[in-house]
Chain A
Amino acid sequence: MAVFTRTTKNLILKIDEFFDNIELGLLVFREGVKAYLEKDMETFNRHIRKVELLESNADKLQRSIENEMITHSILPQHRSEVSSLIDSLDEIIDTIKSSLNEFSIEMPDIPASLNHNFVSIMEASVCAGEELIPAARAYFKSPYTVREKLLKVYYFESETDKVSRNTTRIIFQEMKDLDLAHKAHLRYIIHHIENISDNAQKAADLLSAMAIKIVM
């Protein structure tokens, strides 16, 4: 009987800790990209190490949560969906880690005139991820409010698309002095920052369906 053991409490704590990890990962990503754009490599490297730690912890928590749900037969009817949700949230922190690593390895040369655009893309993309976490938490505590919370995720995802489209247009149509390889590289980096909001949208779609099922 799960209620008489610590299993339920532990699992709730683990899920909360997992969400905290994703939220922190998004914050660190924001600061990391800003540090890179400001050429503060020491702070940037510190943020990379922090994200790696958070990603590894999130992986462990993910395995542990799934394991406990199966072995103690917790949420038998929603288990596969909850696992998928945790998996798609884990995708976000994986994307954050790989994006920061790409900055670190490929050292993209971002023209100073584009700094503001890159910050805008990153802000919109991170906001999409950040708005997803309260919605995911709400699924467990007040599923009736999930869908209204998800509206912001969709809004920031479309904002990300808009800003990145404009930036790509500026890179390819207005910056004649950049060579094609440089332009392609910048587009590739933008695409990676965008992936965060894309993953947030995928998770939001899943969460939306899960919320309907649970309130019906």
Chain B
Amino acid sequence: MILLFLISGLFLGWSLGANDAANVFGSAVGSKMVSFRKAAIIASIFVILGAVIQGAGASDTLGRLGAVNAIGGSFTVALAAAITVYIMTKFGLPVSTTQAIVGAIIGWNLFTGNHTDGRTLTRIVSTWISGPVLGAVFAVLLYIILKTIKKNSSLHLIRFESYIRTGLLIVGAFGAYSLGANNIANVMGVFVPAFNLQDLNMGLFTLSSAQQLFLLGGLAIAAGILTYSKKVMETVGNNIVELSSEAALVTVLALTMVLFIFSSTWLSSVFIKFGLPPIPMVPVSSSQVIIGCVIGIGLYKGARNINFRILGEISAGWIATPIFSGLLAFVSLFFVKNIFGIEVGRLTESVPDVTIQNKQATLANPHISDIMQYLILGLLVTGIIVLLYYYLLERKKKIEFQKSEEKFWRNIK
């Protein structure tokens, strides 16, 4: 039963994959430099790696906003956010999963009477502004640098494009990794305080309780990318402003840098070492950052080709998302508690401390850890089989094409 509650988180992960993860490769796919299939496979692999290896930082911040302390509450909060993201995605709007989950957590705080930490909320909301601005600044600077290199290098256009294409794949992979590291908190953050699983020994490495949840979330994100992200990729890539191939590389690189800055504990410690203030570990909205990057380049190029109507629709989505998600969470929590009689959370005395919350976490039945182990292994094996199938399918296509080419040139001769 307890594992069933995770379904809403997995649904949210799927929505994030379908929506936010598309931002990483949207400009590459939109400018037709990288095929959707190649982008989806690379993004899926690296988003999982990022989530498992580096997902803890941003998750703590979200926990401070409101540590959902009952599994029923986690389920409802994640479900409300997932439904919000799904509806927005259905309309082709690049909505922010961060905003959806923040709205839903505030809805939970209001319902259970818990205090919403103003400082944490301010920190998160400030990234909704600073993220896109930083993205725009990075994008413009990188664009100028790349243009200067192009002008002075006298590289052949085709070779330059092939470098850009390779760059898009490498930066996209890094971007997907950073997205997994930064945004897994949105998907599984609310479940971390409520779950306490036994460590899972995978032979080469061991996964902690949180990492197991992050791995599951990562797999859900990957499923979202593979099955439903194509439409949003095209919106990001082409609708706001038509992107050139170098602009596509620049937007992905700028997004990656912003995501990395807000999820790298290493970078934050380097800042502290040099006497600078630490970087807040906050789940940033990749949708907002990428749109900031695209607009930055559009403004640099003269703002004539920016589609302001679509920009307006997206902005309306940004305001509507946290409000809609918060309301949905509040109403859903009411139904779950009063109609189904499921515990959705309790009032905590002080500002929640995530480490304490972890200690108070629901101790799961030892069998749950075993089930999780089989579930994770099963999903990983399925993933590998799917990748192999894709690879063989591509190989078969390539061989068939080569044969038809040879036949064509033989006939011409």
Contacts and interface: CB of A to CB of B under 8 A. Distances in A.
Contacts of A78: 157
Residue of A3, A4, A139 with most chain B CB atoms under a 10 A cut-off: A3
Interface in A49-80: 60, 63, 67, 71, 73-78
A75 B169 contact: no
Nearest to A7: B162
A144 B148 CA distance: 12
A141 B154 contact: yes
Contact of A77 (B163, B169, B244, B412): B244
Interface residues of A, number: 26
A74 B166 contact: no
A76 B242 CA distance: 13
Given A1-B165, A2-B165, A3-B165, A8 B32 contact: no
A151 interface: no
Interface in A111-150: 139-144
Chain B residues touching A, majority SS: helix
Contacts of B32: 73, 76-77
A195 to B, nearest CB: 27
A11 B161 CA distance: 12
B99 interface: no
A76 B159 contact: no
Contacts of B161: 74-75
Contacts of A140: 156-158
Residue of B157, B159, B161, B244 with most chain A CB atoms under a 10 A cut-off: B157
A1 B163 CA distance: 9
Nearest to A216: B301
A73 B35 contact: yes
Nearest to A63: B412
Given A144-B151, A216-B301, A75 B166 contact: no
A170 interface: no
Contacts of B151: 144
Chain A residues touching B, majority SS: helix
A76 to B, nearest CB: 4
Contacts of B169: 1
A77 B159 contact: no
A156 B317 CA distance: 58
A66 to B, nearest CB: 12
B161 to A, nearest CB: 6
A178 interface: no
A216 B166 CA distance: 23
Contacts of A2: 162, 165-166
A214 B161 CA distance: 12
Contacts of A3: 159, 162-163, 165-166
A151 B186 CA distance: 59
Contacts of A74: 158, 161-162
B158 A11 contact: yes
B401 interface: yes
Interface string B157-183: 111011101100100000000000000
Nearest to A145: B154
Contacts of A184: none
Contacts of B159: 3, 8, 12
B297 interface: no
Contacts of A1: 162, 165-166, 169
A101 to B, nearest CB: 22
A77 B155 CA distance: 18
A67 B412 CA distance: 14
B156 A71 contact: no
Contacts of B158: 8, 11-12, 15, 74-75, 140
A3 to B, nearest CB: 4
Contacts of A139: 157
Nearest to B165: A2
A68 B166 CA distance: 18
A45 B161 CA distance: 43
B245 interface: yes
Given A3-B165, A76-B32, 9 more contacts: A2-B162, A3-B159, A3-B162, A8-B159, A71-B405, A140-B158, A143-B157, A144-B151, A214-B157
Interface of B: 31-33, 35, 151, 154-159, 161-163, 165-166, 169, 244-245, 301, 401, 405, 412
- 8 smallest beta-carbon distances between A and B, as pairs: A76-B32, A2-B162, A3-B162, A140-B157, A8-B162, A3-B166, A142-B154, A141-B154
Interface of A: 1-4, 8, 11-12, 15, 60, 63, 67, 71, 73-78, 139-144, 214, 216
